[in-house]
Amino acid sequence: MSATAPPMRPVRKRSFDRSVYLSVGLALVGVALTLGPILYLVLGGFKTQGDLAENPTGFPDPFQWQNYWSILSAPLFWRQLLNSTLVALATTLGVVLLGTMAAYPLARYKFRGREFFFVIFTTGLMFPLTVAVLPLYLLLRDMGISGLAGLVIPQIAFGLPVTIIILRPFLKALPMELEEAAFMDGVSRIGFFWRMLLPLAKPGMVTVGVLAFIGSWNAYLLPLLLLTGDPTGMTLPLGVTTFQGQHSSATTMIMAYTSLAMVPALVFFLFMERRIVDGLTGAVKG
């Protein structure tokens, strides 16, 4: 959309050969393969069970709102949406706050053992949740932490390594004169952290925050172990698979439920696309 080409320089013109049509064609195939299944899912939610069987690819006929309406008018979906939102917000807040706090001395203090502490956190990258999940489940059970809190606390812990790794160089890059000036004015280090560093570190914090939020929003393994039983206590991903298990014969209902569960993520993505991409590419470049 935004890429309407500027007036073409001669050089551009020469490199503009016929193969650009090939590129556009390829792009269209890619878009169709990406959006096709999603559209099929969303439209399927508007179909009756019989219509889906007879007319799988066509437009819904009759076009009926009933599937979507019955989900939206019952509390279950909204409860799970709320659960997912609360867990994701709490996880993001915890990861960003604790991560920034830890990254600050690791980036800007001089003390013995600094690199050692940093390395301890980086080893966390090698411990995926999958490896730790069985003992983690037992630990939470023994500590009596259950439900959504049991989800938030480990998610924060597992989100810390990548947060600290991204934020440390970011905090390091802020000029050292800032601190010197602040200390001259009699500001304590803690005061400096709250009043100067946090506002300045905001872009970096938004980046790691967005990544933490998406990670929590999509999480499946931990909820699968922790949030068994009552569907009203589940987050959306687990809610979707549970709904799918309970309504296995009503395909169009599952399609509607899945489509609705997809909406918040897509809206968030459209608003945060730049941030997400910057975060991911930035995290990879290190």
Partner 1 sequence: MTALEASGVDQGSAVDAKASAAGPRPMTPVTNHKRRDTIRKWGEITLFVGPALVLFLTFVVYPVVSAARYSFYKWNGVSQFSDAQYIGFENYARALFGGTDPDLKQAFTTQYSQPFWDALGHNFAIIGLSMVVQLPLALLIALTLNRKFPGRSSVRVIMFAPYVLSEVIAGVMWLIIFDPNGIATDFMHSIGLNPPAGGWLEDQTWAFWVVFFVITWKYIGLAIILFLAGLSGVPEDLQEAASIDGASWWQIQWRINIPLIGPTIRIWAFLSIIGSIQLFDMVWVLNQGGTTGQYSTIATYMMQIGFFRSDWGYGSAIAVIMFFISFVIAIAYMLVVLRNDNTDRVRKAR
Span 222-281, contacts to partner 1 by CB under 8 A: 224-225, 236-238, 240-241, 244, 251, 254-255, 258, 261-262, 265-266, 268-270, 273, 276-277, 280-281
Q: Which two tokens stand for residue 191?
A: 């005061």
Binding partner 1 (rule: CB under 8 A), the pick from 49, 50, 53, 69 is 53
Q: What minimum distance in Å lies between the beta carbon of 19 and partner 1? A: 5
Restricted to residues 198-217, the positions that interact with partner 1 (CB under 8 A) are 214, 217
Binding partner 1 (rule: CB under 8 A), the pick from 27, 72, 74, 181 is 27
Distances in whole angstroms, Cα of residue 241 to Cα of each of 46, 134, 170, 228, 248:
20, 21, 39, 12, 10
Q: What minimum distance in Å lies between the beta carbon of 60 and partner 1? A: 14
Q: What minimum distance in Å lies between the beta carbon of 231 and partner 1? A: 14
Restricted to residues 58-97, the positions that interact with partner 1 (CB under 8 A) are none
Q: What minimum distance in Å lies between the beta carbon of 177 and partner 1? A: 20
Q: Does 3 bind partner 1 (CB under 8 A)?
A: yes
Closest CA to 96 of 149, 158, 160: 160
Q: Does 46 bind partner 1 (CB under 8 A)?
A: no
Binding partner 1 (rule: CB under 8 A), the pick from 86, 101, 174, 250 is 101
Q: What minimum distance in Å lies between the beta carbon of 66 and partner 1? A: 18
Beta-carbon contacts of 195 under 8 Å, excluding residues fewer than 6 positions away, are 187
Gap between the Cα atoms of 204 and 191, Å rounded: 20
> Is residue 234 a contact partner of residue 227, using CB atoms and an 8 Å limit?
yes
Gap between the Cα atoms of 261 and 268, Å rounded: 12
> Is residue 221 a contact partner of residue 32, using CB atoms and an 8 Å limit?
no
Q: What minimum distance in Å lies between the beta carbon of 183 and partner 1? A: 11
Restricted to residues 107-166, the positions that interact with partner 1 (CB under 8 A) are 109, 111, 117, 120-121, 124, 126-128, 130-139, 153-154, 156-158, 160-161, 164
> Is residue 51 a contact partner of residue 61, using CB atoms and an 8 Å limit?
yes
Q: What minimum distance in Å lies between the beta carbon of 104 and partner 1? A: 5
> Is residue 180 a contact partner of residue 196, using CB atoms and an 8 Å limit?
no
- H or E segment at 223? helix 221-226
- The C-alpha R_g of the chain, in whole angstroms, comes to 24
Nearer to partner 1, 71 or 254 (CB): 254
Nearer to partner 1, 36 or 181 (CB): 36
Restricted to residues 169-188, the positions that interact with partner 1 (CB under 8 A) are 186, 188
Closest CA to 215 of 150, 151, 147, 148: 151
DSSP 35: H
> Is residue 258 a contact partner of residue 50, using CB atoms and an 8 Å limit?
no
Q: Total residues at the site for partner 1 (CB under 8 A)? A: 98
Q: What minimum distance in Å lies between the beta carbon of 230 and partner 1? A: 18
| Residue type (1 letter), 104 | Y
- Span interacting with partner 1, options 61-69, 98-106, 173-181, 201-209, rule CB under 8 A: 98-106
